[in-house]
């Protein structure tokens, strides 16, 4: 912990990857402008008779797209979302009137039932289960990209808890194949491409290098006092053989964590079985740390990978796939929604330290 964190930090930090996004880090005592988001009571039941995602209730979901394994009891299933946000062609596609442009809401919205156990949470799933799940994500994403040229992006994400958007408590993830690239991914693509053009380096790789090796002391110019010390590994939460979990220096959510492959890779679909095994290990250990520090927290995760299609063919060197884990510990304020400036009442350095210090060696 550095000196200044005792008296509190109040500064605006610019997201290095998306400079249009910034966060106000305000940790001083008495500066608690946000309301805490509710934690979820753990539901540890393995089976619920009325749950459409539990085993034995397969006829309560729309007809299945795929399951794994194909024979015997399933471990994971993919089904269409009963209330899709995007769907089949509509007759009113592509309207353009003045500045009003409409793209047809064509797309696919599917649910991946992660695990047969109703109330299981991520870090309780076995590592080989998680790596099989990621391989299933890959397979379905590839199928969707191949199914229709209009699909520009396939987003895999998870909502855990009602505040994070999950309407069914049984563990599940979602896939949305959409006719546009989401704005935040597009911003990352644009800025990282620009960075690569200027410096010949992937900005995500540079951030990983900084997180792993950077050491610096910043002094107050007038007084010569230490303003900030940046330590080696200060932002690293968890490190595997092939993946690293990092607390971003500037992030929207207090406990936000990103997991990235250590070796440069733009496309999640290119990750090998060995990659996915280590990814599973790092994710599981990271979620166990989060659970110890902010147990029962509602969260989202988003898989960001280079979009497919000819506009993105030259992004292989500049983009770097990653998973963003966004725990919902506080309710966004009107100030945040109106200004686009996120407020973080926990400094990223302190959050990283708290997560790193958790003992999780007993993880089965």
- Footprint of Zn ion (CB under 5 A): 48, 51, 53-54, 118, 170, 202, 204-205, 264, 304, 320
Q: From the CB of 188, what's the least distance to Zn ion, in Å?
A: 5
200-231: b or e for each residue (b if 16 or more CB lie within 10 Å)? Answer: eebbbbebbebbeeeeeeeeeeeeeeeebebe
CB nearer Zn ion, residue 51 or residue 65: 51
Alpha carbon 226 to its chain's center: 34
Contacts of 292 (CB under 8 A, 6+ apart): 358, 360
What minimum distance in Å lies between the beta carbon of 10 and Zn ion?
Answer: 26
Q: How many CA atoms lie within 13 A of 311 on its CB side?
A: 11
Please check whether residue 192 is in contact with residue 320, taking contact to mean a CB–CB distance below 8 angstroms: yes
Q: Which is nearer to Zn ion, 48 or 360 (CB)?
A: 48
DSSP string, 88-137: S--TT--EEETTEEE---B-EEEEEE--SSTT--GGGS-HHHHHHHHHHH
> CA 89, CA 314: separation in Å to the nearest integer?
30
Give the burial string for 282-312 (b: 16+ CB within 10 Å, else e). bbbbbbbbbbebbeebbbbbbbbbbbbeeeb
Q: Based on CB atoms, which residue is closest to Zn ion, 9 or 189? A: 189
The candidate with the shortest Cα–Cα distance to 111, out of 173, 46, 201, is: 173
163 vs 202, which CB is nearer to Zn ion? 202
CB of 25 to Zn ion, least distance (A): 20
- Of residues 84 and 316, the one with the C-beta less far from Zn ion: 316
Minimum distance, C-beta of residue 257 to Zn ion, in the bound complex (Å): 12
For residues 123 and 170, which CB has a smaller minimum distance to Zn ion in the complex? 170
Asked if 172 contacts 55 with a C-beta cutoff of 8 angstroms, the reply is no
CB of 322 to Zn ion, least distance (A): 6
Q: How far is the CB of 124 from Zn ion (least distance, A)?
A: 15
Question: Closer to Zn ion at the Cβ: 5 or 186?
Answer: 186
State the nearest-atom distance from the C-beta of 95 to Zn ion, in Å.
31
């Amino acid at each position: 912990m550095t000196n200044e964190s005792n008296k509190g930090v109040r500064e605006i930090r610019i997201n290095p990857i998306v400079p249009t996004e910034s966060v106000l880090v305000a940790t001083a005592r008495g500066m608690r402008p946000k309301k805490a988001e509710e934690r979820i009571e753990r539901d540890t039941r393995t089976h619920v008779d009325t749950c459409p995602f539990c085993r034995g209730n397969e006829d309560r979901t729309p007809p299945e797209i795929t399951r794994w394994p194909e024979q015997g009891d399933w471990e994971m299933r993919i089904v269409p979302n009963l209330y899709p946000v995007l769907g089949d062609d509509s007759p009113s596609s592509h309207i353009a009137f003045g500045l009003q442009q409409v793209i047809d809401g064509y797309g696919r919205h599917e649910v991946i039932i992660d695990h047969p156990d109703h109330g299981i949470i991520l870090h309780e799933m076995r590592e080989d289960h998680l790596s099989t799940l990621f391989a299933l994500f890959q397979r379905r994403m590839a199928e969707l990209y191949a199914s229709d040229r209009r699909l520009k992006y396939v987003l895999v994400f998870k909502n855990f808890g009602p505040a994070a958007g999950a309407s069914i408590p049984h563990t599940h993830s979602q896939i949305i194949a959409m006719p546009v690239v989401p704005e935040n991914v597009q911003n990352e693509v644009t800025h990282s491409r620009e960075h690569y053009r200027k410096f010949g380096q992937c900005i995500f790789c540079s951030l990983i290098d900084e997180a792993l090796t950077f050491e610096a002391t910043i002094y107050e110019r007038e007084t010569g006092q230490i303003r900030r010390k940046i330590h080696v590994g200060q932002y690293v939460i968890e490190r595997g053989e092939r993946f690293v979990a990092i607390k971003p220096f500037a992030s929207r959510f207090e406990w936000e964590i990103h997991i990235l492959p250590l070796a440069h890779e733009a496309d999640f679909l290119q990750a090998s079985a060995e990659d996915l095994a280590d990814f599973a290990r790092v994710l599981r250990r990271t979620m166990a740390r989060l659970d110890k520090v902010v147990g029962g927290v509602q969260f989202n995760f988003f898989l960001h990978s280079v979009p497919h299609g000819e506009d993105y063919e030259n992004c292989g060197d500049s983009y770097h796939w990653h998973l963003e884990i966004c725990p919902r510990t506080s309710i966004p304020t009107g100030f945040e929604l109106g200004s686009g400036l996120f407020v973080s009442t926990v400094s990223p350095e302190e959050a990283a330290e708290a997560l790193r210090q958790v003992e999780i060696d007993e993880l089965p």
